[in-house]
């Protein structure tokens, strides 16, 4: 893990119910500048994310992996000097002090739950942060968190190994394909 | 429709495949200060959103409805003087000029697609806006758009008719229930 880098850990993934939401969480991590995505669950749940990376880039700059014991992952993360942020509507609303101290810390692991999250994560995270205290979406919460943490700077990023990319246009589609 | 208010129109909803994503889109609309949510599809797809509004509030301040002809809805919106923003990864990246001009216009309808969006929406929207030109999530795109448009001001909002609400806490859950 690198100084200043951000990883996202998705816990509690329910293979059928959460398959699309978890994919959205992973793609948000990638698009908003995280260095990696870690899923509690089986490797087979990462198929569609791998496909996106293969087309749109990130093979070298965005790592993905599955783990079977996420608590152990968190414990080792902290032992290595990393900080842990758990996104939850029960936490302290984002902004101000906590955001600044996260920006000045070492690597940050952002924990994103599905369904009910075990008390352990509330107690063992350095920060429990709410993106508003209303129920909405872990996909939205992660996006806002990463956007605020980076000061909005990650949204224009590209991936050098992309086979396909988009050039924004006013009323149509402009897709660039790189010749093999 | 009111001066300055924002509505979200979700098009192309596929009842089985998109059920949870569409619910997340609607909840993001509510949590990030939109005045209403409009779904292309049947009323039965709005059940879980109605349930959240019943518990967490918004009966009077957040309207939801289903429409069968979304293009007609867009045409009438524009005829009434409203503006239309279509969120798409093929559009112009958010920020700067376009955001400012949206903030100074009348009511804004934010169109959010599922799967492939018909050319008609690209051509008939006042703005096609990208939240980055990478593939990620319509849930994330809507959240970032509303967050940026409101200048981050909507995230601390409450709903006066809530039966249940959360007070953010550092390492636990603090839920307030209103007596009936």
pLDDT of residue B118: 96
d(CA B82, CA B76): 9
What would the pLDDT profile of A121-168 be if each residue is shown by its tens digit? 999 999 999 999 999 999 999 999 999 998 888 888 889 999 999 999
Q: Which of residues 14-73 of A touch B (CB under 8 A)?
A: 17, 20-21, 24, 27-28, 30-32, 52, 56
What would the pLDDT profile of B46-70 be if each residue is shown by its tens digit? 999 999 999 999 999 999 999 999 9
Arithmetic mean of pLDDT over chain B: 92
Residues from chain A contacting residue B27 (CB–CB below 8 Å): 134-137
Q: Are B56 and B164 in contact (CB under 8 A)?
A: yes
d(CA A106, CA B106): 44
pLDDT-derived band of residue A102, with 50, 70 and 90 as boundaries?
confident
pLDDT of residue A108: 95
Dihedral sign (CA A114, A118, A120, A124): positive
Q: Percent of chain A scored above 70 by pLDDT? A: 96
Count CB pairs under 8 A between chains A and B. 169
The segments of chain B whose pLDDT lies below 50 read 1
pLDDT of residue B127: 94
List the domains of chain A with CATH numbers: 6-177 (3.40.1280.10)
pLDDT of residue A133: 94
Q: Which of A90, A95, A165 sits opposite B173 (nearest CB)?
A: A90
Does any CB of chain A come closer than 8 Å to the CB of residue B92? yes
What would the pLDDT profile of A48-73 be if each residue is shown by its tens digit? 999 999 999 999 999 999 999 999 99
Min Cα distance B80 → chain A (Å) is 22
How do beta strands B127-130 and A6-10 pair? unpaired
d(CA A145, CA B172): 20
Q: Are A35 and A61 in contact (CB under 8 A)?
A: yes
Does any CB of chain A come closer than 8 Å to the CB of residue B3? no
- Please state the rounded mean pLDDT for residues A1-12: 82
pLDDT of residue A96: 65
Q: Which of B95, B140, B154 sits opposite A139 (nearest CB)?
A: B140
pLDDT of residue A132: 94
Backbone angles phi, psi at B18, to 5 degrees: -100, 5
State the ipTM, two decimals: 0.94
Predicted TM-score (pTM) of this structure: 0.95
What would the DSSP string read from start to end of chain A? Answer: --TT-EEEEE-S--TTTTHHHHHHHHHHHHHTT-SEEEEES-GGGGHHHHHHHHHH--TTT-EEEEES-HHHHHHHHHHTT-EEEEEEEEEEESSTHHHHHHHTSS-EEEEE-SSSPPHHHHHHSSEEEESSSS---HHHHHHHHHHHHTTTGGGG---TT-SEEE---SSS--EEE---
Q: Are A19 and A42 in contact (CB under 8 A)?
A: no
pLDDT of residue B15: 86
Helices B19-31/B138-149 angle, 10° precision: 10
């Amino acid at each position: 893990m690198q100084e200043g880098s951000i990883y996202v850990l998705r816990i509690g993934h329910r293979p059928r119910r959460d398959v699309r939401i978890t994919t959205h969480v992973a793609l948000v991590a990638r698009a908003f500048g995280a260095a990696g995505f870690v899923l509690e669950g089986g490797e087979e749940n990462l198929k569609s994310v791998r496909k996106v990376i293969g087309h749109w880039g990130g093979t070298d700059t965005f790592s993905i992996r599955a783990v079977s014991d996420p608590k152990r992952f968190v414990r080792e993360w902290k032992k290595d000097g990393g900080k842990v942020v758990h996104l939850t509507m029960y936490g302290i609303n984002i902004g101000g002090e906590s955001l600044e101290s996260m920006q000045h810390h070492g690597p940050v692991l952002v924990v994103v739950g599905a369904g009910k999250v075990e008390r352990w994560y509330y107690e063992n995270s350095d920060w429990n942060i709410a993106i508003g205290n209303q129920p909405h979406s872990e996909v939205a919460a992660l996006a806002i968190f990463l956007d605020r943490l980076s000061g909005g700077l990650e949204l224009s990023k590209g991936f050098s190994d992309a086979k396909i990319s988009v050039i924004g246009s006013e009323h149509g589609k402009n897709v660039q394909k790189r010749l093999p």
